[in-house]
Structure 1
Amino acid sequence: MLSNSRYIFVALCSAFAVTGCATTPEPAPASPPDADPLTASAALGDFTNLDYCSLLDLPSVAGGSAVAEPPAASFEQCRAVVTDNGAKLAVVIGPVSSGADPNMKPYEAYQRGALPDGVSVQQSTFEAQQLCTRLVTFTDGIRLTLSVADQDKPTSTEIRCGKADAMVAGALAAVAGKRVGRLTFSEHSLGRVDPCSLLSGHELDAASGAGTAPSPGLTGHSCIRGKVSLALSVDDANVQGEAEKIEGRTARRSTEGAFCTIWTDQPAVGAPGRVERAKISVVDVEGKGGEEMCGAAREAAGIVLPRLPKP
């Protein structure tokens, strides 16, 4: 089972039920001869409000099995859970990313229809014993991640990767059919926040490191400045971590490896049992360990948290 620290599954919109018999998705039509190579922005639009759930053909992925958890949209992903012979599998689309990935390998066995001009499909070797990952790479080098992971019982590579291939076909069909949807954010949603604006200013020089500057994530919902990172998401409500008060907000703290992380939650409008989350992490780059970074994490949180919208 994959650790929560590696896969953060989040939800913003109300979950919706999926019914009906599973069928093989219609393959995406081939690009007309005079079509330009397909870029990620042309296919998916604005990444900041992309509804990843609109790319998920869950009946085809389930393949006639039950849906244990219906799709839930987030700022950067869509997650659902299906079953296969009693085993639960997490189905996740997103996020979009770019840059080098040492785990990414060619995948020439994809056989679920012609690919649009400029689009290719790769596979990932990351944790392949319990996870099957496909990457749809557009002509501009930006890629969409689609994965199927064992949740509670081991399944076979054939089962996981068959579902992952179905996810690719469904996503490309949604793009071709112009069915890519958009998220809407409530007035005080963290989805409206520019995280890099919260990491600007000299107040964070000590925590982040002198001479550092904010660098935004591709989706617009995360930012890194030196040793400090800020991620805005939606997650299941939980009470993990040590509770503390920071600048009037209830926050929680945890350490893992070289990281100390502090986060605060607020209700996710229209999503019972879910919360919007602002997570500040500081990484140790000197071999001291994450616990030694908690002072800097509290300092950064004391600057960032008061700047968040009040729910």
Structure 2
Amino acid sequence: MYPRLKALAVAMLCALLAACANTQAAPEPSSGPTPLTSSAALGDFATVDYCSLLDVPAVAPGAVASPTFETCQARLGARTILVGPLAFDSDPNIRPYAYPGPVPDGVAVQQSMFNDRTACTRAITFADGNRLDLSVSDTSDDQAARCGVADAAVGSVLGVVTANKVGRLKFPERSWGLVAPCALLDTHDLDDAAGADSRPATGLSGHSCIRGKVSFKLTVETDEDARPAETVGGREARLRTAGAFCLIDTTQPAPGLPGRRELAEISVVETAGTANDATCAHARAAAASIFPRLPHA
């Protein structure tokens, strides 16, 4: 019996080995395109150099591009191209349209009907719902020309993000780009202006914050300001009203950017209608609390 058992065992082993030899590994499931989110496209929102998204020689030859903390502004004569800021709120003016270029998976390019007699505005909405606004404005009546430039700018942005070539801002010591704005709003000094039960909520870029009726943003100014100045919180400040808002700002020389100035702006909204003296009193009180805590260049 033993020789038979041995032969049977050998036969079974050979059969198993043959079966293993003929067995192929199951193919791995094919992975489709990954929807492009804003964080995958742009990385750290707080350090995006928005001017790196705009191929100025191709889109607007001769334009001069200037980055802020949240945008890029390129100017050529009366025409201005603005890339940014990032937004996550809904905009009822945004509508679908037939963008003529390629679009990454999960991304939608839309148009805005707001102010469409002097500006052509596009919205690049990523798979996570965050969008990058882009506009071209000038004084002409040629909307088709403006929108041609806007579509070229959209193509530049999409080309940069899909090639992983987004540039980064570097903030020198004592730059306001390093300041956490919500930390400056989180104080009882602002209870009257913002509302005692309100809590700070940071913006997408990390350079702005809202607490109740008070908003605070840090950026680089793009226009000279000729408004009369006053002293608030130990700094030279300028106040203005715009509809329901009273705004007050101060500036300092931008470290590392000769000829440019960083800007800190506080706004208080009047929920009952147009901004008034009481609204501006709250804005001044907020500035008196916040401005002294900003670093000096």
Per the normalisation by structure 2, the TM-score is 0.86
Query: In the aligned structure 1, how far is the partner of 2:144 from the partner of 2:278?
Result: 44
Deviation track 1:219-255 (CA, whole Å, cap 9, x = no partner) reads 1111111111111110146343331112321111112
Contact 1:253 1:262 in 2 (8 A): yes
Contact 2:236 2:250 in 1 (8 A): yes
Q: Tell me, what secondary structure is at the counterpart of 1:266? A: strand
1:56-95 alignment runs, 5 A limit: 56-62=54-60, 66-67=61-62, 69-82=63-76, 88-95=78-85
Offset at residue 288 of structure 1 (A)? 5.7
Offset at residue 286 of structure 1 (A)? 2.3
Change (3 A) 1:42 1:70: same
1:1-311 alignment runs, 5 A limit: 34-62=32-60, 66-67=61-62, 69-82=63-76, 88-107=78-97, 109-112=98-101, 114-150=102-138, 153-236=139-222, 238-287=224-273, 289-311=275-297
Amino acid at match of 2:92: P
Query: In the aligned structure 1, how far is the partner of 2:197 from the partner of 2:284?
Result: 20
Deviation track 1:18-57 (CA, whole Å, cap 9, x = no partner) reads xxxxxxxxxxxxxx96331111100111110001111101
Query: In the aligned structure 2, how far is the partner of 1:58 from the partner of 1:119?
Result: 23
Offset at residue 208 of structure 1 (A)? 0.8
Higher helix fraction: Structure 1 or Structure 2? 2
Offset at residue 155 of structure 1 (A)? 3.7
Offset at residue 207 of structure 1 (A)? 1.1
Query: In the aligned structure 2, how far is the partner of 1:287 from the partner of 1:53?
Result: 37
Query: In the aligned structure 1, how far is the partner of 2:54 from the partner of 2:174?
Result: 28
In the alignment of these two chains, the number of paired residues is: 268
Amino acid at match of 1:167: A
Contact 1:237 1:275 in 2 (8 A): no
Q: Tell me, what secondary structure is at the counterpart of 1:292? A: helix
Contact 2:66 2:73 in 1 (8 A): yes
Q: Tell me, what secondary structure is at the counterpart of 2:41? A: helix
Contact 1:280 1:300 in 2 (8 A): yes
Query: In the aligned structure 2, how far is the partner of 1:287 from the partner of 1:40?
Result: 35
Amino acid at match of 2:122: R
Query: In the aligned structure 1, how far is the partner of 2:228 from the partner of 2:93?
Result: 34
CA root-mean-square deviation:
1.7
Amino acid at match of 1:286: A
Amino acid at match of 1:118: G
Q: Tell me, what secondary structure is at the counterpart of 1:299? A: helix
Query: In the aligned structure 2, how far is the partner of 1:208 from the partner of 1:90?
Result: 34
Contact 1:259 1:291 in 2 (8 A): no
Query: Of the two structures, which has the highest relative contact order with CA contacts closer than 8 Å and spacing of 6 or more?
Result: 1
Query: In the aligned structure 1, how far is the partner of 2:292 from the partner of 2:107?
Result: 43
Offset at residue 270 of structure 1 (A)? 3.2
Query: In the aligned structure 1, how far is the partner of 2:83 from the partner of 2:95?
Result: 19
Q: Show structure 1 runs of 5+ residues with no match.
A: 1-31
Contact 2:117 2:141 in 1 (8 A): no
Q: Percent identity?
A: 50
Contact 1:240 1:252 in 2 (8 A): no
Change (3 A) 1:54 1:288: closer
Larger radius of gyration: 2
Per the normalisation by structure 1, the TM-score is 0.82
Contact 2:42 2:161 in 1 (8 A): yes
